[in-house]
């Protein structure tokens, strides 16, 4: 079982001359998992997700569950599928979502926006620094990884 910690919210992305960045949302999720802020410098991009390597290095394992969801999966319409594939409500999923009004334009070759959240085994968003204030969450899921202790 993974215990969530109080996440650290950066005031803005930390961008480097190389074009890489430490993004607000991924940092928020990683620190919620108990990973120290100074344990990583770059969180990656949509096309090259460094956060998976950070998770592995810090003693977590991340297994993709994207094939268990539909091609048009959103946070809202995937809650039942997440509940079905979860062993318990305490399961944690690292989810990268796409959209025009969530997250920031960081590193995607297609120029799209991306954002990261943590979802529990019941399909509820538990860590999100840009919470959708709507009844139905239509943010499109790009990738979803079940996080466990290695």
Residue 90 lies in a domain: yes
pLDDT digits (tens, 9 = 90+) for 125-146: 999 988 766 667 788 899 999 9
pLDDT digits (tens, 9 = 90+) for 45-99: 777 789 999 999 999 999 999 999 999 999 989 999 999 999 999 999 999 988 6
Q: Map tokens 């979860």 to a residue.
A: 86
Residue 1 lies in a domain: no
Domain total in the chain? 1
CB hemisphere CA count around 6 (13 angstroms): 0
Taking the whole predicted model, whether its pTM rises above 0.85 is answered as yes
Residue 45 lies in a domain: yes
Residue 8 lies in a domain: no
Q: Does residue 107 carry a pLDDT above 50?
A: no
Angstrom distances, CA of residue 148 to CA of 1, 12, 43, 92: 7, 28, 19, 8
Helix (H) or strand (E) holding 84: helix 79-85
Residue 5 lies in a domain: no
Residue 48 lies in a domain: yes
For the chain, what's the residue count? 150
Residue 80 lies in a domain: yes
CB hemisphere CA count around 82 (13 angstroms): 27
Angstrom distances, CA of residue 131 to CA of 19, 33, 40, 72: 27, 18, 25, 20
Q: Does residue 123 carry a pLDDT above 50?
A: yes
CB 72 within 8 A of CB 140: yes
Per-residue pLDDT at 100: 56
Domain that holds residue 141: 14-149
pLDDT digits (tens, 9 = 90+) for 57-70: 999 999 999 999 99
Residue 98 lies in a domain: yes
């Amino acid at each position: 079982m993974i215990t969530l910690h109080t996440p650290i919210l950066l005031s803005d992305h930390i961008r480097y001359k190389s074009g890489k960045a430490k993004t607000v949302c991924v940092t928020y999720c990683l620190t919620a998992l108990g990973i120290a802020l100074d344990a990583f410098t770059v969180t990656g991009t949509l096309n090259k997700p460094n956060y998976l390597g950070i998770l592995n290095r810090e003693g977590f394992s991340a297994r993709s569950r994207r094939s268990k969801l539909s091609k048009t999966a959103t946070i809202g319409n995937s809650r039942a599928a997440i509940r079905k594939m979860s062993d318990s409500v305490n399961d944690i999923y690292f989810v990268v979502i796409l959209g025009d009004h969530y997250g920031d334009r960081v590193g995607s070759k297609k120029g799209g926006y991306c954002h990261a959240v943590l979802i529990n085994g019941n399909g509820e968003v538990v860590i999100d620094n840009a919470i959708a204030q709507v009844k139905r969450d239509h943010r499109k899921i790009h990738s979803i990884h079940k996080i466990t202790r290695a």
